[in-house]
C-alpha cells in the first residue's frame, strides 16, 4: 500500500463524503472486479458509520455487490476526471475490457477482499446492510463503513486540506454531460465547538 | 417572486443537487415555519424526480415534515454561509427566535404551501414519500420533487453557471466544525452525448 495512505477513524469517515463528491464504487465477486462512477452517494450516520449509494439495475457493479455484500466507495481526484467519466459511461456488460481501457489501477488492502482504485484521495470499505425494499424500489443501497483510509497529502487529522494540496487533488462534483466542478476554496465560519 | 427565479424542468431538477451541495431544509405546519441545514441530501431518481435527506430525530423541522408531508430543499450560496451555519447549529426547540435571529427571509410560491428561503440559488418543493422503516431506523426521508426553481443568474437551461456568476453565488459544501468549501472551477470531459 502506498506510504501516503493512512487509516481514518470510522467516526470521522463521513467527512470524506460530507462535501458531496462524485465517487467511484468498486466490488468483486467470483474473480470479477468492476468499478463504476456514482454521483449519488451520501453519508447516512456517524456511528455506526453508514452511507447510501444509488446503483442502477443495469450496472454490473450492482450485481457484484448483491452477490458479495461488500463494496468500496472511493473519492477520485481532479487528476482522475477522464478515468471517472470513462468508468461512469461504459459498462462491463458491453465491454469486457472496460477496466483495462479506462486505465484504472486496482490494489488490495490486507483484511479486505475488495478492489481499491489507486490514485484516489479516500476509500471507504463497506458491508452491505441488506434492505431489499430500498434496493428494489429505489435502487438505494445502504453500507456500513468497516474500514476507511485517506491519502495524507490531502486528508489528515480528520480534515480535508484541499487548499494546501495541488489542484490535481481536488474532489470532483459531477453535474451532467461530461461537466464536472472541482471543489473550490474554504469558507470558515467562526465557531466555539465542533458541530 | 423575484424576477430572476424561473422554473426548472422536473427531469432536470436533480442537477441542482448532483454536485453535492449542503442544503437548507424548510417546512411548515400549524402556523410554524422552520429551516435547518443538512449536508446529507442526495438525488435519488430522475423521473419521477426524487431525493433523499437525513433528518435527525432531535430537529423541529423533521417533526414539521412528519406532520405536513411537505418540505423544501434549497441550495444556499456562499453569501449565505453564516446563515447556513446558524440554521444548522441552533434549534427552534431551544430558541423560538431562531429564524429571526438567523436573518432567514422566507417567501411563498403560489400553489405551494411551503416556506422558501430567499437568496438561495435553487429550490426543490417535495412531497414526502412515507417510508416508516427508513425514517425510524435510519432518519432517512424520501421526497418526490413536485416543483423546482432556480435563480437564472447562476442556473439556467438545465446547467449551473458558477464560472460566469460572482463568487457569492458558489454553492456550499460542508465538512465539519464550521468548515465549508465553495464549489470551484469547471472540469469538462469531451463527450459525444449527454450522460
Residue in chain A closest to B155 (alpha carbons) equals: A175
To the nearest whole Å, the CA of A2 is away from the closest chain B CA by 25
- Which residues partner with A125 through β-bridges? A72, A147
Q: Which of residues 135-194 of B touch A (CB under 8 A)?
A: 138-140, 142, 158-160, 162, 170, 172-191, 193-194
| d(C-alpha B187, C-alpha B185), whole Å | 7
pLDDT recorded at residue B160: 98
Q: Are A40 and A91 in contact (CB under 8 A)?
A: no
Chain A positions in Cβ-Cβ contact with residue B185 (cut-off 8 Å): 181-182, 184
Grid coordinates representing A6?
493512512
Instruction: Convert the pLDDT of each residue in B41-50 to its tens digit.
Output: 999 999 999 9
Which secondary-structure segment (H or E) carries B26? Answer: strand B23-29
Residue B173 confidence class, pLDDT cut points 50, 70, 90:
very high
Tell me the shortest Cα–Cα distance from A82 to chain B, in angstroms.
6
State residue A195's pLDDT score: 39
pLDDT, mean of residues B172-190: 95
| Whether A44 contacts chain B with CB within 8 A | yes
Inter-chain touch B182–A184, beta carbons under 8 Å: yes
Note the pLDDT tens digit of each residue in B68-96: 999 999 999 999 999 999 999 988 888 99
pLDDT band per the 50, 70, 90 thresholds, residue B191: confident
Looking from the CA of A111 toward its CB, the CA atoms found within 13 Å total 6
The pLDDT value given to residue A93: 85
Q: Could you give the percent of chain B with pLDDT greater than 90?
A: 92
Run of H or E including A180? strand A179-188
Taking the Cβ of residue A132 and every Cβ of chain B, the question of whether any pair is shorter than 8 Å is answered with no
Q: How far is A164 from chain B (nearest CA, A)?
A: 13
In which residue ranges of chain A is pLDDT below 70? 192-195
**Among B133, B159, B173, beta carbon nearest to A183:** B173
Beta strands at A122-129 and A70-75: parallel, antiparallel or unpaired: antiparallel
C-alpha dihedral, B107 to B108 to B114 to B120, nearest 10°: -50
Q: How far is A68 from chain B (nearest CA, A)?
A: 23
pLDDT of res. B194: 47
Question: What's the pLDDT score for residue B195?
Answer: 39
Contact status, residue B19 vs residue B171, Cβ threshold 8 Å: yes
Q: Which of A20, A10, A9 minimizes the C-alpha distance to A171?
A: A20
Identify the pLDDT of residue A192: 58
A10 Cβ under 8 Å from any chain B Cβ = no
DSSP reduced 3-state for A36: strand
pLDDT at A194: 47
Classify burial at A74, counting beta carbons within 10 Å of its beta carbon; exposed 0-12, middle 13-18, buried 19 or more.
buried
Question: Nine-digit cell at A95?
Answer: 465491454
pLDDT for B37 beyond 80: yes
Q: Which residues contact A146 (CB under 8 A, 6 or more apart)?
A: A10, A112, A125, A126, A127
pLDDT at B192: 58
Q: Give the sign of the dihedral formed by CA A41, CA A44, CA A46, CA A50.
A: negative
User: Which residues are registered as beta bridge partners of B45?
Assistant: B50
Element holding B41 (H helix, E strand):
strand B41-45
- Please report the sign of the dihedral spanned by the C-alpha atoms of residue B103, residue B24, residue B152, residue B69: negative
Grid cell listed for B109: 410560491
Distance of CA B161 to the CA centre of its chain: 18
Given an 8 Å threshold on Cβ–Cβ distance, is B183 in contact with A162? no
Q: Calculate the average pLDDT of chain B.
A: 95
Asked whether the beta carbons of A52 and A142 are under 8 A apart, the reply is yes
Q: Which residues of B touch A193 (CB under 8 A)?
A: 177
Q: Evaluate whether the domain defined by B5-182 bears CATH number 2.10.109.10.
A: no
What tens digit of pLDDT does each residue of B6-17 get? 999 999 999 999
What pLDDT was estimated at residue B29? 97
Amino acid at each position: 500500500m502506498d506510504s501516503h495512505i493512512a487509516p481514518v477513524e470510522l467516526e470521522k469517515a463521513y467527512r470524506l463524503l460530507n462535501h458531496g463528491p462524485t465517487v467511484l464504487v468498486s466490488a468483486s465477486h467470483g474473480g470479477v472486479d468492476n468499478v463504476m462512477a456514482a454521483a449519488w452517494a451520501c453519508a447516512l450516520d456517524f456511528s455506526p458509520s453508514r452511507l447510501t449509494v444509488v446503483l442502477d439495475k443495469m450496472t454490473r457493479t450492482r450485481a457484484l455487490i448483491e452477490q458479495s455484500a461488500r463494496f468500496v466507495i472511493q473519492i477520485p481526484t481532479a487528476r482522475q476526471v477522464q478515468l471517472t467519466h470513462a468508468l461512469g459511461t461504459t459498462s462491463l456488460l458491453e465491454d469486457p475490457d472496460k477496466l483495462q481501457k479506462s486505465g484504472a489501477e486496482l490494489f488490495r488492502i490486507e483484511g479486505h477482499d475488495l478492489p481499491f482504485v489507486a490514485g484516489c484521495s479516500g476509500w471507504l470499505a463497506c458491508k452491505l446492510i441488506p434492505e431489499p425494499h430500498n434496493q428494489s424500489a429505489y435502487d438505494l443501497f445502504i453500507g456500513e463503513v468497516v474500514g476507511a483510509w485517506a491519502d495524507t497529502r490531502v486528508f489528515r487529522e480528520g480534515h480535508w486540506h484541499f487548499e494546501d494540496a495541488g489542484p490535481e487533488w481536488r474532489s470532483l462534483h459531477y453535474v451532467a454531460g461530461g461537466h464536472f466542478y472541482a471543489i473550490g476554496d474554504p469558507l470558515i465560519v467562526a465557531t466555539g465547538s465542533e458541530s
